[in-house]
Structure 1
Amino acid sequence: MNISAIWIKRPIMTILVMFGILFFGINSYVDLPINNLPAVDFPTIMVSASLPGASPETMASNVAKPLEKQFSTIQGLSSMSSQSYTGSTSVILQFGLDRNIDACAQDVSSKIAAAQGDLPTNLPSPPTYEKVNPSDQPILYFALTSDTMPLTQLNDYAENYLAQNFSMVNGVSQVITYGQKFAARIQVNPRLLAKQGIGIDDVERAVKAANVNLPGGTLDGAFQAFTIDSNGQLTIGEAYRDVIISYKDGMPVRVRDVGDAVSGVEKDKQMAAWYSTREKTRRAIVLAVKKQPGSNTVLVSEGVKKLVPRLKAMVPESVEWHLLYDASDYIEESIQDVQFTLVLTIIVVLFVVFIFLRSLRSTLIPNVAVPLSIIGTFAVMSVVGFSLNNLSMMALVLCVGLVVDDAIVVLENIVRRMEMGESATEASFEGSREIGFTIMSMTLSLVVVFIPILFMPGIIGKLFHEFAVCIAAAIMISGFISVTLTPMMCSRVLKGFHERKEGWFYTLTERGFKATIEFYGRTLRWVLEHRRIALAVTVLVLVVSGFLFMKIPKGFLPTQDQNFMMAWVQAADKISYDDMIRHQSELNELVKAEPDVKDFISIASINSYNSGIVFVMLKSLKDRRRSVDEIVADLRPRLNSVPGLLVFPQNPPPIQIGAGNALAEYQFTLQGSDLTSLYRYAGIVEERMGRLKGLADVNSDVKLNLPKLYINVDRDKASALGLTLDQIQNTFFSAYASRKVSTIYGKLNQYAVILEVQPQFKEDPGALSYLYVKSTANKLVPIGTVSTIEETVGPVTVNHTGQLNSATIAFNLIPGHSVGEAVSETTRIAKEANLPESIVTGFQGSAQEFEKSFSGMGFLLFVTVLVIYMVLGILYESFIHPITILTALPLAACGALLTLWVFGMELDMYGMVGIIMLIGIAKKNGIMMVDFALEEERTRGLSSEESIYQACLIRFRPIMMTTMAALFGTLPIALGIGAGGDARQPMGVAVVGGLFLSQIMTLYITPVFYVYFDELNRWLGKRSGKKEKTI
C-alpha cells in the first residue's frame, strides 16, 4: 500500500490541504498569548486574620490552631502552613494540581465559618481569604512620589484611582498597594486621664458616639421631598480634639484636655517605602500589578500602561510616576531572540541540506516542510490553549532539525532512484512506497518519546507539558507532509533532473562524499570483522555514562537574567521601627552606589518591624558586563556590612514554588510537637549548614529574642477592687494595640479611627505604671496595684506546617554549586545531628520539587525506552530488532553527559529533557539501517552481515543529512544566544553533544549488534524448532 499515491495523483488537493494548514496556523499565531513560561496554576489560598497587639504565641494558639483544625479536613489539601506574627496570622493552603481553585475557595469559606465559634471574640473582623498563585509574581511595579503631597494623600490617589482603574484592565487579577493609608489617631495621656478621673474605655465610648454615619431618612411633602443628612462624621484627626468625653464640675472634658488627636497613618509602624535612582531617594507609594493565570502578559502590561496618560490627568501635577519593573520587556526581548534563533536555525538547516543535495530545487522540497510544520503547530497550540513562551518556542526551535528529517529521507530515496535511471514520477511513486514504513516508524517512535513527559507528576510535568505537545504536534505534521507534499513536489519539481548540468561545486563535493563513503565502507568492514572490540567499546561507554551521571552536579530550573534582582532584609529582633528606618536608609545608599543599578524600590517593616525587602532594576544586559548572579555575589558582602542587618540578595527563580515567606530560595523544614527540642535541633542544623561551602544566606525562621513584657495579674486582688480580667485586657488593648474604635466613611474609601496612648508612653516599660483601669465601682485603679511586670523574650514568629510546630532553614546557592549537592549535604547533616524520632524533616519549595523530579527521572527514562521498544516491536513484529535500534541510546546519553561535564554545566531539568529528546533522535539512524538491511535480506537473500553493510552504505547520506540537520539546528540553543539563552543552553549542549558522539559511534556499533542479534535470533529459532520436533 502506498499512501502517497493519491497525493501525487491529485496535486491540487495536496496544495489546498497545505494552504489550509498555513492559513489556520498563521491566524492562530496572531491570537496566541505571550508569556515567559507556561501557566502553572497552583490552587493556593491564603487565609489572613489579625488581632492587633496579640503576641505570636497567642495568634498561633488562639487563631491559627482553630483554623488549621478545620482546614485539615478539606479534600485534596496537599500542604498547609501558617505563620503567626505579632497581631497577625496567615495560613497558606496548597491543594493538588487537579483541584479547581473556585471549589477550593468554597470549601475554605465554609471551614472559616465553622471555626468562628473557636476564634477570639475580639477579632476586629472575621478571617479573610484570597486565591493566590505563588508562580504568578507581579508583572508591573509602579512607584508614586511627590515633593509636596503627604504620603496619605498620595496613597489615596494610588488606592482610589490608580488601583481601581488598573484592576479593570482585562487580565489583571490583583493590584497590591504598599503605602500609608490615612487614619485619625486619638492619643491620650494616662496621667491626664487619671487626673480627670477618666478611664481609657470612656474615651473609646465618646469617640464612637461622636463619629456616626447613620441615614437620616427623608421628608416627603406634597410637592417636594428632602433627604436628611447631618454632620455626624468627623473626617480629620484634628476634629476629634473637641470631642467631649465627660463632664467634671459642670465643665466638659474634651480629648485635647487628656491628650491629642492627629491625622496620621493606619499602620504607623509598618510599610515605609522608598523609590531611588542614582541621583535621588524619596519616600514613595508602590503599586504591584498581578495578572490572571493564563492571560497574555504582554497585552495585560500594554493595557495597564495605556491607562497611565489618562490617569495622570486625574492626579495633581506634583505626583511623579515611575515604572520600575515591566515583565513584558524581558518576555518580548526573550521571545524575539527565540524567534531570531528559529529563523537562524531554519537558514542553517537549509544550508546543511543544500550541502548534501547540491541542488536548489532539491533543497527547496524538504525545507518547505519546516515552515509548514511549525506554522501548523501554532494551530494546535491555539486549539489546546497554549501560549507563546520560552519553552513552547524552544520546542519549535528544536523541531526545525527534526521536522526536516522525514522529508529528507523521502527526498533522498526518490533522488537515489532517479540517479538509477527512473523518471521523476516513477521514482516518486516507488520511492515513497519503499520508504513509507520507515517514515511511519521514525515518526511514531519519535512522538512516543514525549508521551512520558506529558504524564510527569507535579510542577515539572505542568511546566514541560506544552513543550512535549508542541514537539509531538510538529513531528506528526512533518510526518504527514513528508508522505503527501514531499513526493508530490518531487514528481513535479524534479522533472528534468537527469538533464541538469553539474557545476564545479557539485563535482568537488561529490568527490568528497564518495571518498567519505569509501572510507566509511572500509572502516565498517574492519569493525564487522572485529566485533568484540565494538562490544568492548559499548561496555566502556556504559561505564563512563554511569560515572558521569554520578559525577555531574544536578540542578533544577536554571535562573534567568531578567535585569532584576531582589534582597530580603532582616534586623535584630529587638529593633524598633524608627531604628529599622535608619538601618534600611543606610542600605539604600549602598544599593544606590552599585554602578549596574538603574533604580530600585525599598520597603522597610514589610511583615514585621525587623523585616524589609528591596526590588532592584538593573541596567540592560547590553549595558553591563556582569550577569545578575555575579552582581548578587558581589553585592552580598557589601550589603551585609550595615551593622545590625542581615541581607539576603538573590536572583529570583523563573517560577516561584511554595507560598512561604522564606528569605532564600531553598528551604529545609524540621517539624515536631516539642518546641524546645525542635528549636534546639534547628539551631544545630542551621549552624552546620552555615559551614557548607556551597551555601549562602543560611538563616532560620526561629527567632527567640523578641522582647516581651509579661503582666502577671493578681486575680484575687483585682476582684476585690472591682476589676475583671476582661477590663484589664481591654485597657492594654486600647492603650498599646492601635485599637480601631471607629470608622470614617469617605467618598471613595474607609479610614480607621485609632485609639492609643501618646508615643512617649510607649517608649519605656516604666510607663505602664501610669495606666489606670476603671473598676465596676467607677473608681480608677493603678495597673501596678493588681499586677507585676516581668521582662522576658519570645519568638518573633510561630510557624506551623501541617498543624505541627515547624522550623524552616532557608538558603541560597553560591554560583558554581548545585542544588543536588546542597540537598545531599543537608540530608547528611540532618542524619549526623541524631535528631529524635519526634522530629521529622523534609525540603520545601524548589528543593522539594527537585527531589521529586530526580527521584522519578530514572523511572521516566525507563518508561520512555519501554514505550519506544513497544512501538518498534509492534511495527517490526519482532522482539529482537527494536533492541538493535535502541543500542544507540547509551551512546547518545554518554555524549550528552560528557559534553555537559566538559563545559562545566549542571544536569538540570532542561538537560534531562534534552537527554529524553536524544532517545528519540538517536534511534532514527538505527531505524534507517535496520529497515533497509531487512529489505536486503528479504529481496536479495544476503547474510545479516552483508545486508547491514549494504544498508549502511545506502543510507549513509540520509543518516548524515538528518543528523547534521538536527545537530546544527540545535547549535544556536547550545550557544545560549539572546535573552534567557543561558537557561536554555544545557538542553542544547546535551542534544548537540549526544548527537555528535552517537552519530560517530552508531554508524559502527549498531551494525555490530545487528549481526549479533541476528545470530541470537537464528539460534533461538533453531532451539524452538527442536522443541517442536520433540513434541
Structure 2
Amino acid sequence: MILSDLSVRRPVLATVMSLLLVLFGLLSFTRLTLREYPDIAYPIVSVRTVYPGASPALVETDVTTVLEGAISGIEGLRTITSASRAETSQIVLEFGRTRSLDAATNDVRDAISRVRRQLPLAVQDPLVAKETGDGNEIMWLSLASDRHSELEMTDVAERFIKNRLAMLPGVSTIPLDGERRYAMRIWLDPERLAARRLAAQDVEEALRTQNLTLPSGRIESDRTEFDVSIRGSLETPQQFLHLIVAYRDGYPVRIQDIGRVELGSEDDRKLVRVNGKPAIGIGVAKQSKANTLEVAQAVKQAWPDLVASLPEGMTLQVAWDGSLAIEQSIREVYRALGLALILVVLVIYLFLGSVRATFIPAVAIPASIIGAVTILWATGCSLNVLTLLGFVLAVGLVVDDAIIVLENIHRRIESGVPPIQAAMAGSREIGFAVLATTLSLVVVFIPIAFLTGVVGRLFAELAIAVAAAVLLSGFVALTLTPMLCATLLKTGRRQTRLSKVAEEAFAGLVSRYRRAVERLVEARGPVLGVALGAIVASVLLFLRLPMELAPLEDVGWFAGHLTAPEGATIRYTDAYARQVEGIVETVPEVTFNYMVVARGYRPTIVNRASSWVTLAEWEKRDRTQQDIVAELNARLGRLTGVKVSVLNPPPMEQSPEKTPVQFVLVGSTYEELRVQAERLMRKAAAHPGFLNPDMDLSMNMPHVTVEAHRSKSADVGVSMAAIGRTLETFLSGRPVTTFSRDGRVYNVIVKVDEPYRNSPSDIMTLPVRGEQGQLMPLGNVVSVREDATPEALHHYDRMRAVTISAGLAEGFSLGEALDYLNRTAKESLPRMMRFAYAGESKEFLESRASLHVTFGLAILVVYLVLSAQFESFLSPLVILLTVPPAVMGGLLALAFTGGTLNIYSQIGLIILIGLVTKNAILIVEFANQLRGRGMAAREAIVEAATLRFRPIIMTTAATILGALPLALATGAGAAGRRHIGLVLVGGLALSTLLSLFLVPTVYRLLARGPVKPDKLAVARLPYATVADQSHASSASSHIIHGGS
C-alpha cells in the first residue's frame, strides 16, 4: 500500500506521525471533563404553585389542570407529570434531549403567563425552575454539637458554612435539612383573647404598625449633616411581650396578657440525625454541567477553613458523599486498563519470544489509545467510566492489526526476503485484510449511535472511544508497524530458549490443526450441525436469561424509606425512625446513617422518613452492599405500624428515592384507579418476586372540612375572608412582620398555642370579628366535619394516574416483573383504562427494544460493508457465520456466572460482531487471494486457514486477556464491567474455537469455481507465488526469533 511503502522509505515521517497522535492526545486529556457517566439527563422544567388553604382536589381542578392545558403543547415535550397536594401544585415537564433547556423554560413561562388570570386570586405566582436531572446533591454534610441548640447550629450554618460553600466553582445551591431558623413565635390564647374582645387580626395589625423602622429625613447645619430615622423595631421577646395591642376600659392590653412570646424556630416539623445524634444537614448541589469530582474536591480543599470558622463544641462531618463511588469506580477502571496493558504485552512476548518483536505491536497501544483521546475531545465527549471502559477493551484490539502485519512481514524475512522489501510486500499483501477487519469492527459501532433514550447517549461515547482507537490502530499498523519491522527485525537471529519452546509447541499445534481442517472441510454435515446448534442455543439462552436495565452496583451506600399511616404525627414517625436507626446501627459495615424525619416543603410530609446509609470502604468489608440491603429488608420488614423499604441505589443516575418497578395506571376517575391499583397490588404482594409493593394514591388522609354558613355570616357581618384569615393565623402560623438579630432578618409568626389546636372541635371556639366590630366564636358561623382526603392527586400526561411501585427480590429481574404486571393488567383492566411505565422501568423497556434492533442492524451493516470490500455477497456470509458461536459463548458465560441481559452485556454482544468477524476475514481474504492465483478452493482454504492460524490465536489471546480484567472486576462499579467482560471473554473463546473449523468448511461448501485474478488481487500479492505460499506453509509455525 502507498501509505506503508512511504512509511518504510521515510521512517522519520512515520515516527513523527505517531508522536503527533500521542502529543495531541495528551493535550486533549487535560481538557476533557471527568465524570461518572456521559451527560444523559433530560432537560427538565418544574412548575411549583402555592394555593394557600386549598385541598388537593381544589388544587388539581383550579391550578394543575389549568396550567397543564396551557403548557402541554410546547415543542419537544416528552412527558408531563404532576402532583396536586394540599396548598401546592407541582408539575414536572421532561423534554427531549435535543431541546434547549433555556428555550423550553422561556416557552413554559410564556404559556403560564397567558393563563395566569384564569387562576384563583389567592394563588401565588407559579415558580418556574429549570433542571437537567443531574444537578442533585452530591454530598451531605452534618453539623452537630453536644452543647449548642439546633437554632444556634442553623445560624452558624447559614452565616459561615452555606455562604462559603456557595462560592465554590460548580456549586449550584446549598440546601439545609432539619434547619431551625430563628423566628419570634407569638403563641395566642383564644380564651384570653375573647375575654378582652380581641381577634387575631388585632394582634397582626398592632405588630405591623408598631414594629418598624422608618427614615425621617435629615438635619443639616453649616458643617454637618445628620440622617434621621425612627427606631421602632422590636428585637427581644421582652419587647414583644410589652407591645400594646389595644386599650380596653382605659387599660392597655399587651401581648403578655393574651399569650406568650419565645425566640424559637420558624419550623420544627423536620428532624435530622446522623448516627442517632441531632444535626443540621448541609447539602452541596452541583450545577447541571459541573464535574462531580471537581466540586467534591473543592469542598475538601475548603474543609480546613470551614472547620476553623466553627464555634467551640461544634463538629462538621461528611455524612454522605456520592463522589466516593465515582472516584473509586474510575480508579478501578484505570487499574483494569493498566492490568490489561500488562497482560496483552505479556501474551505477545510469550508468542513472539523477542523483546524487539514485542515492542512493535506494543507501541501501537499508547499511540492508538492516547491518540483516540483527541477524537473524544473533538466530538465533545467526556472522560468517564464508559469511555475508559472502551479504552480497556481497545487495549486488546489495537494490537490485532499490528500483530497481523508483523506476522506477515516476519514470514517473508524468514524466507530470505530483505527486511525493507519484506515490510513493503508484507504490508501490501495484508493491507486489504487489515482495512477490512478494522472497518468491520468500526462499523459495528455505527448502529449504537442510533440507540434511543438514555442507553443511546450512554454508549455513544463508548462507541466513539473504541472506534477511534481501532481506526488509529489500523493507521499505526500500516505506517509505524512496517517501519519498525524494517528497522528492528533481522533475519537469522539467534533463538532464545523461550522462543525455541514456543516454536516447538506451536509447530505441533499448527500441524494438528491443518490435519483437522483437511478432514473437516469435507465433513459438512457435522460442522453445519454445530453451526445450526449454535444458532438455536443462542436464541434459547437469549430468551431464558433474566433481563434488567443495568446490574446493581456496589456503590458503598444505600437508602431506606419509612412510611407511617396517613395522618400520623411527626412524633409517631420519629419513634419508628429511631427503631430503624437502632437496627441499622447493629450492622458492622455501617459508618454513617443520615436520617431525615419528615420530607418535603410546604407541606412537610410528616409521615415519612428517609435515611442514607454509608458503608465502609470496599476493601474493608467482606459483604457487598446488596447482601446488607437484603439482610436489613428481612429485619425491618418485621416492624409493625409502618412500612420500611431498603433500596439499592438505582443504575444510570435514576432517582435514589424511586424503586425499580414503576407501573402507571391511567384513567378518568381516582376511585376506579384506586380499585384497579389495589387489585394489582394484591397480586404483586402475593408474588414472591416483588418487595413492598405500594401505590401513590391514598384516600384516607384525615381531613377537616370547615363549612361556612353564608346566611349566618351575612347576618352578623363576618366575611369569608375574615374566616379564612382567622383560620390561617391560628392554625397555620403565617409570618406577620420581621425582626433583626445580629444583622440578619427573621420572621415574626403568630399562631394559636398548642393546647387550643389538639382537636377539630377547637376550631369552633376561635374568636372572629364581624364587620361591626363585634366578636363571636367561629362556631357561630361555621360547622366542622371530619372526613378523609387523598394526600396527593397525580397526573401522567394530563390524565389522572396512579403509580404502583415495588422493589425486586433477589433473583427476580426487572424484565420478569414488568412482564408479569403487563400480563396481569391486560387480563384484568377495563377497556377504557390504560397503563404506562415510568423511571427505571420506562428506560429499561426503551433500551430493550432499541438494543434488539441495533443488534440486527449491526449485523446488516457489517455484511454490507464486507460485501463492498470483497465485491461479493457470498464471502461475507461465511464470515458472519462466526457470530452465532460468539453469541452462544457470551450468553453461556452469563448463564454460568448468574449474569443478566442488560445494557452492558448486550453492548458486549454487539461488539462481539466486529471482533469475531476479524478472524474469519483473515482466512477468507487470503483464500480468495490464493484462488485468484489459480489454486483450487479446497487447497486454498486449507492453506489460508493454516497460514492465518498463528495470527488469529495471537490476536484472540491478546483480546481475551485485554478483557479479562473486566470479567474479574471488583470494587465500585464492578458489576457492569464484569458483564461486558464475561460476554467478550466467553464469546471470543468459543467463537474462535468453533470458527477455525466452521469457516473453512462453509467456505468450501459455498465456493463455486475459481476466483478470477484481477488488478486488486495482484496488487495485494506483488511478490508471492503459489509455490512461495506452499513453501511458506512449512514455516508457518516459526516464531520471530529472539534477541532484543
TM-score, reference length from structure 2: 0.93
**Residues 454 and 509 from structure 1, CA distance in 2 versus in 1: closer, same or farther, beyond 3 angstroms?**
same
Letter in 2 for 1:149: H
Separation (CA, whole Å) in 1 of partners of 2:476 and 2:230: 79
* Residues 576-655 of structure 1 aligned to structure 2 (within 5 Å): 576-607=569-600, 608-655=605-652
Separation (CA, whole Å) in 2 of partners of 1:397 and 1:221: 82
The aligned counterpart of 1:920 is 914
Letter in 1 for 2:109: S
Letter in 2 for 1:544: A
The aligned counterpart of 2:521 is 528
Residue 215 of structure 1: CA displacement? Answer: 4.5
Letter in 2 for 1:128: L
SS of residue paired to 1:4: helix
Separation (CA, whole Å) in 1 of partners of 2:865 and 2:30: 36
Separation (CA, whole Å) in 1 of partners of 2:363 and 2:216: 78
Query: Could you list the runs of 5+ residues in structure 2 that have no partner in the other structure?
Result: 1013-1044
Q: 1:479 aligns with which of 462, 470, 474?
A: 474
Residue 934 of structure 1: CA displacement? Answer: 0.7
Separation (CA, whole Å) in 1 of partners of 2:808 and 2:722: 52
* Residues 986-1025 of structure 1 aligned to structure 2 (within 5 Å): 986-1015=979-1008
Residue 666 of structure 1: CA displacement? Answer: 2.7
Separation (CA, whole Å) in 2 of partners of 1:718 and 1:632: 58
* Residues 550-565 of structure 1 aligned to structure 2 (within 5 Å): 550-565=543-558
Separation (CA, whole Å) in 2 of partners of 1:73 and 1:1001: 56
SS of residue paired to 1:268: coil
The aligned counterpart of 1:909 is 903
Greater displacement, 201-210 / 479-488:
201-210
Separation (CA, whole Å) in 2 of partners of 1:791 and 1:864: 64
Alignment of 1:881 onto 2:885: no
The aligned counterpart of 1:422 is 417
**Residues 206 and 66 from structure 1, CA distance in 2 versus in 1: closer, same or farther, beyond 3 angstroms?**
farther
SS of residue paired to 2:363: helix
Q: Deviations over 1:604-643 (max 9, x none)?
A: 0112010111011111122222111111110113224443
Separation (CA, whole Å) in 1 of partners of 2:774 and 2:139: 57
Residue 502 of structure 1: CA displacement? Answer: 1.7
Alignment of 1:711 onto 2:706: yes
The aligned counterpart of 1:165 is 164
**Residues 237 and 982 from structure 1, CA distance in 2 versus in 1: closer, same or farther, beyond 3 angstroms?**
farther
SS of residue paired to 1:690: helix
The aligned counterpart of 1:664 is 659
The aligned counterpart of 1:696 is 691
The aligned counterpart of 2:944 is 951
Letter in 2 for 1:969: G
Q: 1:872 aligns with which of 866, 876, 883?
A: 866
| Preserved CA contact (<8 Å) 1:963 1:995 | yes
Q: Deviations over 1:746-765 (max 9, x none)?
A: 67754332222111112112
Q: Deviations over 1:987-1006 (max 9, x none)?
A: 10011111011001111111
Q: Deviations over 1:682-708 (max 9, x none)?
A: 111111111221111211111222111
| Preserved CA contact (<8 Å) 2:151 2:181 | yes
Alignment of 1:896 onto 2:870: no
Alignment length, in residue pairs?
1007
Letter in 2 for 1:73: G
Give the aligned CA root-mean-square deviation in angstroms: 2.0
Q: Deviations over 1:57-107 (max 9, x none)?
A: 233333323322222132211111122333333221111111111222222
**Residues 310 and 228 from structure 1, CA distance in 2 versus in 1: closer, same or farther, beyond 3 angstroms?**
farther
Separation (CA, whole Å) in 2 of partners of 1:1013 and 1:725: 91
Alignment of 1:929 onto 2:923: yes
Letter in 1 for 2:529: A
| Preserved CA contact (<8 Å) 1:918 1:995 | yes
| Preserved CA contact (<8 Å) 2:213 2:233 | yes
**Residues 753 and 836 from structure 1, CA distance in 2 versus in 1: closer, same or farther, beyond 3 angstroms?**
farther
Residue 274 of structure 1: CA displacement? Answer: 0.8
Q: Deviations over 1:656-690 (max 9, x none)?
A: 336xx965233111111211111111111111111
| Preserved CA contact (<8 Å) 1:337 1:979 | yes
Q: Deviations over 1:385-405 (max 9, x none)?
A: 333321111110010110010
Q: 2:811 aligns with which of 799, 813, 816?
A: 816
Separation (CA, whole Å) in 2 of partners of 1:92 and 1:673: 20
Greater displacement, 190-199 / 1007-1016:
1007-1016
Letter in 2 for 1:639: L
Separation (CA, whole Å) in 2 of partners of 1:585 and 1:438: 68
Residue 460 of structure 1: CA displacement? Answer: 0.7
Separation (CA, whole Å) in 2 of partners of 1:656 and 1:329: 15
* Residues 359-758 of structure 1 aligned to structure 2 (within 5 Å): 359-494=354-489, 497-607=490-600, 608-657=605-654, 663-744=658-739, 750-758=745-753
**Residues 19 and 217 from structure 1, CA distance in 2 versus in 1: closer, same or farther, beyond 3 angstroms?**
farther
Residue 221 of structure 1: CA displacement? Answer: 4.7
Greater displacement, 467-476 / 743-752:
743-752
SS of residue paired to 1:610: strand
Residue 43 of structure 1: CA displacement? Answer: 0.5
| Preserved CA contact (<8 Å) 1:136 1:656 | no
Query: Could you list the runs of 5+ residues in structure 1 that have no partner in the other structure?
Result: 1020-1031
Separation (CA, whole Å) in 2 of partners of 1:602 and 1:749: 29
Residue 52 of structure 1: CA displacement? Answer: 4.8
Separation (CA, whole Å) in 2 of partners of 1:837 and 1:185: 55
The aligned counterpart of 1:970 is 963
Greater displacement, 431-440 / 749-758:
749-758
The aligned counterpart of 2:1021 is none
Residue 825 of structure 1: CA displacement? Answer: 0.8
| Preserved CA contact (<8 Å) 1:3 1:433 | no
Letter in 1 for 2:543: M
Q: 1:293 aligns with which of 288, 292, 304?
A: 288
Alignment of 1:846 onto 2:840: yes
Residue 53 of structure 1: CA displacement? Answer: 4.3
Greater displacement, 232-241 / 464-473:
232-241
The aligned counterpart of 1:141 is 140
Q: Deviations over 1:349-399 (max 9, x none)?
A: 111112222221111100100111111122222333333321111110010
Q: Deviations over 1:23-66 (max 9, x none)?
A: 22223323433222222232012222334543322333333233
The aligned counterpart of 1:244 is 244
Q: Deviations over 1:847-891 (max 9, x none)?
A: 111111111222111111111112112211212112221111111
Separation (CA, whole Å) in 2 of partners of 1:187 and 1:325: 38
Separation (CA, whole Å) in 2 of partners of 1:720 and 1:255: 31
The aligned counterpart of 2:14 is 14
**Residues 585 and 21 from structure 1, CA distance in 2 versus in 1: closer, same or farther, beyond 3 angstroms?**
same
Residue 481 of structure 1: CA displacement? Answer: 0.6
Separation (CA, whole Å) in 1 of partners of 2:499 and 2:115: 83
**Residues 435 and 225 from structure 1, CA distance in 2 versus in 1: closer, same or farther, beyond 3 angstroms?**
farther
The aligned counterpart of 1:204 is 204
Greater displacement, 384-393 / 896-905:
384-393
Separation (CA, whole Å) in 2 of partners of 1:793 and 1:689: 26
Separation (CA, whole Å) in 1 of partners of 2:229 and 2:578: 48
Greater displacement, 161-170 / 840-849:
161-170
| Preserved CA contact (<8 Å) 1:21 1:375 | yes
SS of residue paired to 1:472: helix
Separation (CA, whole Å) in 2 of partners of 1:571 and 1:524: 71
**Residues 777 and 999 from structure 1, CA distance in 2 versus in 1: closer, same or farther, beyond 3 angstroms?**
same
Separation (CA, whole Å) in 1 of partners of 2:654 and 2:100: 19
| Preserved CA contact (<8 Å) 2:7 2:479 | yes
The aligned counterpart of 2:318 is 323
Greater displacement, 524-533 / 211-220:
211-220
Separation (CA, whole Å) in 1 of partners of 2:213 and 2:64: 34
Q: Deviations over 1:929-950 (max 9, x none)?
A: 11101100112x1222221111
**Residues 473 and 294 from structure 1, CA distance in 2 versus in 1: closer, same or farther, beyond 3 angstroms?**
farther
SS of residue paired to 1:605: strand
The aligned counterpart of 1:1022 is none
Letter in 2 for 1:643: T
Letter in 1 for 2:850: G
| Preserved CA contact (<8 Å) 1:369 1:481 | yes
**Residues 752 and 122 from structure 1, CA distance in 2 versus in 1: closer, same or farther, beyond 3 angstroms?**
farther
Separation (CA, whole Å) in 2 of partners of 1:237 and 1:459: 56
Letter in 1 for 2:548: G
